[in-house]
Structure 1
Amino acid sequence: MSMNMKGSITLLGIFLAFATVAAADERYVLHYESPANDVVRIDKGKRNQRAEFGFIQTALPMGNGRLGAMFSGGIETEHLLINDITLWMNAKRGLDEVSQSGARDVAREDFETVRKAYREGKYGTKRGSMESLSTTYLSSVEPLGNYAPFTDVLISTGHEPPRVRDYRRSLDSRTGLGTVSYTIGKGKFRREFFCSHPHDVVVARYTAEDATLNLTIETVTKHNVVQVKAADDRIVLTGEAKMVRDNVEFMQIVQIDAGNADVAPQSDGSVTVSGASEVTIYLAGYCDYLPVYPSFKGRDYKADCEKTISAAVKLGFDSLKQTHVDDVSALMNRCRLELDFQPSGLTTDKLVAGDSSLELENLYFNYSRYLQLSCSRGAPVPSNLQGLWNDSLRPPWNCDYHTDINVQMNYWMVDPANLTECFRPFAEWTKILAESGAHTARKTFGVDKGWSMGLNGNVFGFTAQNEHGRRNQQAGHWLCQNLFDHFAFNQDRAYLEEIYPTLKGAAEFFVEFLAPWKDGSLVVYPTWSPENAYLVKQYGKLNKQAYGASWDQQLVLNLFTDCIEASIVLGRDEEFRKTLQAMIPRLCPQKIGQYGQLQEWPEDWDRPQDTHRHISHLIALHPGRDISPLTTKELYEAALVTMKHRGDESTGWSTGWKTCFWARLHNGDKAHQIYRFLTAQRAYPNLFDFHPPFQIDGNFGGAAGVCEMLLQSHLRSVNADARSISDAAFVAYRKNPSTPNHYQGVAPDDTLADAPYILHLLPALPSAWPDGRVHGLRARGGFEVDLAWEAGRLIAATIRSEKGGTFRLYADGTLSENIVLSVGQSYSWAEQTKH
């Protein structure tokens, strides 16, 4: 091999040496010396009263993907917030198939009126402007609704905080176990919590040593209570979440096992326990939601509650706990980041209050993986703006699905961080969108093939345009980027067969929706560049409607390329494939503007003073794959200028994205600077992302950025004989020789589907992380990767293949030849000994 490396292939592989499980515990544990800030107890008589600000930011989260909980660790009263990710309110369901999409019925001539305003440059917001006409003719008047809390369980102890000593509240993200412990006098009290994915229940156990437990357990909801009844050792609550049409019904059962202690139901629906040494509380809850378009109803939620709670009680606490720990730890142990640091012993809130540290940065990554598996697994809908956890009937931004980055960012780290199961809810949701979006495409845009999606989504198939015309017009291309990238990682042909109709439908829509601009190039319009404005001095800060925005054009090229590859792999739709290949060179080119920046719009409207948090016109850099320092030097340099203009500090999700950008630009120290800001300045005490307020996408974007610093695999080798990446890799943009600073799309030929991925090891390792290890990162092509480094240099790597495949390695500035692995084989790389 002509590389400055040596490698070998074995059936077992050579695994890196990692710290023992016991020694790695602190890398996963959040711990505190005081309860969460749940200073207002919820009153059962005031359904709309919410806990005072602080609970969501300080309580500790658990979840199984559908069912979620947060525990406060309160001394007098434990507050368990319960969420069901399918429980929404204030929307409509059960309409006919067309109406359920929410789409506005737009006459063809009215749509042409809107487009004419764009062609004529009717900027601003006055009557007759692009903004005004888009709102008038295209925007839906149907309600989107919002995600809503489920219930609250309150467990009163009668303990007085001043008497408490040795208080500790913790969450082990490696096992998904929450604990609270303290002493009062000679008595030792302990609580354990978990939310089981295998058995779909929340479980709590209270124990007392040299003391007894006297508890009052009650459950409340902010929704309309149909009935709350305590009988024997059980509390059953049924309720309704208000909808504009067809209220959502739900049930929760709380089962109490106190052994031989006295358990007494009360007339107010609570249960008291007296003189116990151990109390176990089981909770099951469901609503009537089913992901069936257009009814979104039909689950036998009452029967499911009974069945689930009975099965859990029969198994008992110890069995449920062991199964839960085995389930969570198996997923968490797949991928482990281990930076070298000396544990400080500081509580997590003090770590966050400090100036950041390797300890916090390490914990943040591992905890983000825990949040991912907790809020996106086994559910029919994806994680939302707050993941799974919400305590408000009026959450920020509806706690909905924003498709101009947020829901996509929620899934960037799933595959690189080896949590492939967590992607399924996203895939299932997009199937619903494709079904509903076909009606939106036809009714609003007059496009008879394919499907369309607007800015905001819900769990009821809403695909219409947002009520504000300046908002995002299309999102199908970005959603499909996530869909195909999942295939790139898992190489699952059955999955590709499953999503191909969705991919093709999105491409079919744009084939018909794209229209020639004045220069003859094909552009997306109406559109915008989320959420930025241009010509602000002339037309104001709401001048956002545009044509041919760079992010749209980049994503359409990405979508067409993915659809071409999928059709080749599956051996179908050759004529449609040729159509896409012919259209790619006709797309509006990417352009470098007067300041050397990558233009955000086809016109050179960018301002160096613009520090807007969205940098959507770099989507081809990340999460796309078409701008790289290794393959597109001029576009790379233009992206650097854009990043300099936009600055460093921003909201949580934007900070996460900037971490990814700088990693893809191979600037590890800059990526680390942004990630450090995210962990120290954009994290609440419980490490939830500080947008502000709380949004979970920053957690996932930051974790994705860590993956990008350590391993990149988005480039493809189309020339096996080339010795440099610039000669080997497929390049999606070529300079137009007749027009300076214009870069035209390149249509892939049929060989791209067989092109191996290039695994770039430690592409952006920060100098602040001189020594460390990472186990179980995933690379495109279906590979799993372990890495170890010392003094800032890669010293060992192992690449494993479950399905077999071919790849090339790029490490220490050298590109390997093709490396072929059979099923179950591993390849080991080690740094050459220097003499």
Structure 2
Amino acid sequence: MKLMYNRPAEKWTEALPIGNGKLGAMVFGQVTEELIQCNEETLWSGYPKDNTNHAALDILPEVRKKIEEHEYSNASDEAKNMLGAYTQAYLPLCDIMLRFPRHESYSDFKRELDLNNAVAKTSYNVEGVHYTRSLFASYPDNIIAMRLTADQPASLNFSINMSSKLKHHIQAEKNELLLKGQCPEHVDPIYYDTKNPVIYGDPETTNAMSFEARVHILSDGRVTTSGQTLHVEEAVSAIILFTAATNYSGFDSMPGSCGKEPSEVIDNVFDHAILKSYPELFHRHKEDYQLLFHRVTFDLEGAKKYENIPTDERIQRYGAQDKGLIELLFHYARYLMIASSREGTQPATLQGIWNKDIRAPWSSNYTLNINAEMNYWASELFNLPECHLSFLNYIEDLAASGKHTAAVHYACRGWTAHHNSDIWRHTAPVGDYGHGKPVWALWPMGGVWLTRHLWEHYLYTMDETYLKNRAYPILKQAALFCLDWVIENKNGFYITSPSTSPEHHFIVNGYKASVTNAATMDMALIWDVFTNTMSAQHILGIDYELQKEIESIRANLYPYQVGSYGELQEWDQDFMEEEPEHRHVSHLYGVYPGEQLTETLTPELFESARASLERRGYGGTGWSLVWKLCLWARFQEEDHAFRLIDHLFHPADNDAEVDEKGGLYNNLFGAHPPFQIDGNFGYAAGIIELLIQSHQNYIHFLPSLPGQLPEGQITGVRVRGGFEVSIKWNNHEMIEASLLSNHGSRCYVYNNKELKVTSEQQKVSTTSHNDGILAFNTDIGKTYYFKPKE
């Protein structure tokens, strides 16, 4: 449950993250000059504005015409003119620096991140004095708290100041530091070449956000002020409290005119926090955090073998051979989820809540063609629906802003979103009105994919009130967009046009192109939203006429095609891929995270999808590796799955720019490279998918257990149907399992081990189906136990 190191962090990807969903910090654990790099969830460039391209609709017929004439390269060039503005950037807040005089020579250094308590700690000795620092980010009190101690009287001496990469000024007064700053009106993305990448407005008239950050010190020593620096002298202990706020008041509200003052928010936080002792603050933090973190456990036999070796050395020396590291990375994902995504906060970005750059990789935004969704694949499985809510709320906001984009760009009802978004709920295709590339930007399926999260939340909770009042209205509007977006081809099939397979080109007549008709992922996503919408209509007993219309169109969607290699085609025709081992596996959406393609329902297409995955290979970026892991779990190919785990556990190059190597950084952050948090979350989803599956309307224990993990247990995992499941296995076989019913649903379990079912030592009446499924009724709040028949 700990990440441990015997040296300070030298790079950002060695520092240790703490967070409460609102505030984040990277703790370096340096000795003489400690650095704590801080973030605030709403600190973004820009402001609300219309980012649509009002010329797009006029260009659409010409793009479709060129596709029909098989002028794919020309269609791609023309489609550039349908793009809108770029998204804005998630920004770094400030750095806190602490300087400790005469600490150059130290010994017995230890740095750790305690996942059980959500605390980052640093300790060391200098001249016979033992120094400690402990930091945590409290959700209940909205602060980052740090306690510094020395075990000898009057031995703690340090100075503290702040800085920011954004425009700012700092004041030091009594025992407080105050940093006030201004966000830029625009930050161009890292991949866009411009002479003015960061644009600030007039300080008096700017529409961009302002922000404040404050440090408050309590100490038994002497606290003095010198310029913009605070000094603590001859102390035994010191408590540093930190918080920050912006004047953000909603995605559709101008921050400069909203009337919200960051200082008022901070005053309120400190008015309450400074009245509490450090033990009380820590207790409130710990109680809140552990209520979430302790819901799930995961233990592997042999996991303690290397637990006393520093984490970075374990990555370098053992990788996936270290079962404790496999276990630790799983718990780390749960920790990161709680730290970066809480109820009432913004959802986790490409980097969670942690970012050090003004021009972060890909603007540290929300990338909707896989990455943002992958961040939340495990949230319900983790038994953390509260953490999922921030993303579900975000989707509701996107549905509101996406209506305008659907109307302006495509003259469609409903709502749409494309592959990038930001805090302002950007839904237009990005590309600076013609400078971007359709291969990644012209993809109006982002909103369609996002609706699966609304549907999954219902499947895990079985909350019909949520389905009726929140999920269904958004599902319906996404389905309406698809009804209007599809067109009928000459063979009577409904297709999308123009259509791209995210970020992947095809080769035709020796030329590279990206725009065609009916890319496989488009059709899979539309089938998915149609199916889920009709299921919701059936459950709620509403919109029968619309249900008939959707069912008619779904029955005539352009069907899956099989290519010349026996693989599931990625596009409507059997084009040659630019990269057969491309990182995206978008055309396999119907296998995972969807469930349209299964061995039982679509055996031939399921086998073709498997051939596609083999063709993609075992390389890729961090998130790509774990998507393939989840897919191999669905194919119940545990050896292939573990090969992806092994690849993920390779040490990443801390100095690498963007490439395809993947791996883990020393602080266990997943490497794209650079860092993207989706790899961490997707890994945990993949681990659970190996151990339990519920996507086929029944629960399957240990469907894809790797041979390298012969013994272990997992408890408290949520599955579809409103159940919590625990499993224990030995010698690669399940020896017992339990199921808690939170909804009282009828339960279906795959009976491949001839299971017997009991509840409170009473045999449960079950029904056996010819397909090997065991069924029985459950009562709310009752636990059921499974054991193989002897």
Deviation digits for residues 725-746 of structure 1, max 9, x if unmatched?
xxxxxxxxxxxxxxxxxxxxxx
CA distance in 1, matches of 2:685, 2:35: 32
1:106 CA displacement: 2.9
CA distance in 2, matches of 1:404, 1:340: 37
SS of the residue aligned with 2:510?
A: helix
Aligned with 2:140 (options 194, 198, 223): 198
Alignment-derived partner of residue 262 in structure 1: 222
Alignment-derived partner of residue 179 in structure 2: 237
Alignment-derived partner of residue 817 in structure 1: 774
SS of the residue aligned with 2:631?
A: helix
Within the alignment, does 1:789 sit opposite 2:759 as a pair?
no
Alignment-derived partner of residue 349 in structure 1: 312
1:242 CA displacement: 1.0
Specify whether residues 231 and 107 from structure 1 end up closer, same or farther in structure 2 by C-alpha distance, changes over 3 A only: closer
Q: Does the CA-based 8 Å contact 2:504-2:579 persist in structure 1?
A: no
Judge which range, 171-180 or 570-579, deviates more.
570-579
Specify whether residues 560 and 282 from structure 1 end up closer, same or farther in structure 2 by C-alpha distance, changes over 3 A only: same
Alignment-derived partner of residue 188 in structure 1: 130
Specify whether residues 691 and 108 from structure 1 end up closer, same or farther in structure 2 by C-alpha distance, changes over 3 A only: closer
1:571 CA displacement: 2.6
Alignment-derived partner of residue 718 in structure 2: 778
The one-letter code matched in structure 2 to 1:139 is L
CA distance in 2, matches of 1:441, 1:256: 51
CA distance in 2, matches of 1:592, 1:813: 35
CA distance in 2, matches of 1:537, 1:655: 31
CA distance in 2, matches of 1:319, 1:782: 35
Matches for 1:621-700 after TM superposition, within 5 Å: 621-681=591-651, 682-700=663-681
Aligned with 1:511 (options 483, 488, 501): 483
SS of the residue aligned with 1:217?
A: strand
What is the TM-score with the length of structure 1 in the denominator?
A: 0.85
CA distance in 1, matches of 2:785, 2:180: 57
Aligned with 1:131 (options 49, 69, 76): 76
Within the alignment, does 1:80 sit opposite 2:36 as a pair?
yes
1:809 CA displacement: 0.6
CA distance in 2, matches of 1:450, 1:414: 27
SS of the residue aligned with 1:182?
A: strand
Q: Does the CA-based 8 Å contact 2:251-2:425 persist in structure 1?
A: no
Higher relative contact order (CA 8 A, sep 6+): 1
1:499 CA displacement: 2.2
Within the alignment, does 1:311 sit opposite 2:272 as a pair?
yes
SS of the residue aligned with 1:818?
A: strand
CA distance in 2, matches of 1:609, 1:67: 40
CA distance in 1, matches of 2:511, 2:774: 55
1:631 CA displacement: 3.3
Q: Does the CA-based 8 Å contact 1:507-1:560 persist in structure 2?
A: yes
Aligned with 2:242 (options 275, 278, 283): 283
Q: Does the CA-based 8 Å contact 1:263-1:274 persist in structure 2?
A: yes
Matches for 1:301-700 after TM superposition, within 5 Å: 301-341=262-302, 342-344=304-306, 345-356=308-319, 357-447=322-412, 449-467=413-431, 468-471=437-440, 472-474=442-444, 475-496=446-467, 497-535=469-507, 538-540=510-512, 543-606=513-576, 610-681=580-651, 682-700=663-681
Judge which range, 654-663 or 593-602, deviates more.
593-602
CA distance in 1, matches of 2:576, 2:784: 47
Deviation digits for residues 638-676 of structure 1, max 9, x if unmatched?
112111111001110000101101000001121112112
Specify whether residues 412 and 301 from structure 1 end up closer, same or farther in structure 2 by C-alpha distance, changes over 3 A only: same
Deviation digits for residues 545-586 of structure 1, max 9, x if unmatched?
121011110110010111111122223222111111111111
Q: Does the CA-based 8 Å contact 1:176-1:194 persist in structure 2?
A: yes
1:107 CA displacement: 6.5
1:816 CA displacement: 3.7
SS of the residue aligned with 1:228?
A: strand
Within the alignment, does 1:223 sit opposite 2:166 as a pair?
yes
What is the TM-score with the length of structure 2 in the denominator?
A: 0.90
1:143 CA displacement: 3.9
Specify whether residues 189 and 119 from structure 1 end up closer, same or farther in structure 2 by C-alpha distance, changes over 3 A only: same
Deviation digits for residues 250-306 of structure 1, max 9, x if unmatched?
1111110002x1101222x21101000000000110111122425366343211101
CA distance in 2, matches of 1:233, 1:107: 56
1:379 CA displacement: 4.0
Count of aligned pairs between the two proteins: 728
CA distance in 1, matches of 2:150, 2:452: 52
CA RMSD of aligned residues (A): 1.6
Q: Does the CA-based 8 Å contact 2:505-2:577 persist in structure 1?
A: no
Alignment-derived partner of residue 209 in structure 2: 248
Specify every segment of 5 or more residues in structure 1 that has no aligned partner in the other structure, as ranges: 1-27, 38-53, 717-757
Matches for 1:80-159 after TM superposition, within 5 Å: 80-89=36-45, 91-93=46-48, 95=49, 99=50, 102-106=51-55, 108-124=57-73, 129-136=74-81, 138-140=82-84, 142-159=85-102
SS of the residue aligned with 1:500?
A: helix
Q: Does the CA-based 8 Å contact 2:207-2:255 persist in structure 1?
A: no
Alignment-derived partner of residue 2 in structure 2: 29
1:680 CA displacement: 2.9
Q: Does the CA-based 8 Å contact 1:229-1:236 persist in structure 2?
A: yes
Q: Does the CA-based 8 Å contact 2:416-2:448 persist in structure 1?
A: no
CA distance in 2, matches of 1:538, 1:513: 30
Within the alignment, does 1:213 sit opposite 2:194 as a pair?
no
CA distance in 2, matches of 1:645, 1:707: 25
The one-letter code matched in structure 2 to 1:428 is N
SS of the residue aligned with 1:586?
A: coil
Deviation digits for residues 406-457 of structure 1, max 9, x if unmatched?
101111011112211111111111122111111111111111x201111110
Aligned with 1:176 (options 118, 134, 138): 118
1:484 CA displacement: 1.0
CA distance in 2, matches of 1:386, 1:558: 28
Q: Does the CA-based 8 Å contact 1:762-1:811 persist in structure 2?
A: no
SS of the residue aligned with 1:83?
A: strand
Deviation digits for residues 693-732 of structure 1, max 9, x if unmatched?
111111111111001000100112xxxxxxxxxxxxxxxx
Within the alignment, does 1:760 sit opposite 2:700 as a pair?
yes
CA distance in 1, matches of 2:226, 2:745: 64
CA distance in 2, matches of 1:103, 1:488: 34
SS of the residue aligned with 1:88?
A: coil
CA distance in 2, matches of 1:253, 1:811: 58
Q: Does the CA-based 8 Å contact 2:22-2:340 persist in structure 1?
A: yes
Q: Does the CA-based 8 Å contact 1:776-1:785 persist in structure 2?
A: yes
1:108 CA displacement: 4.6
Alignment-derived partner of residue 767 in structure 2: none
Specify whether residues 400 and 577 from structure 1 end up closer, same or farther in structure 2 by C-alpha distance, changes over 3 A only: same
Specify whether residues 832 and 607 from structure 1 end up closer, same or farther in structure 2 by C-alpha distance, changes over 3 A only: same
SS of the residue aligned with 1:314?
A: coil
The one-letter code matched in structure 1 to 2:167 is N
1:608 CA displacement: 11
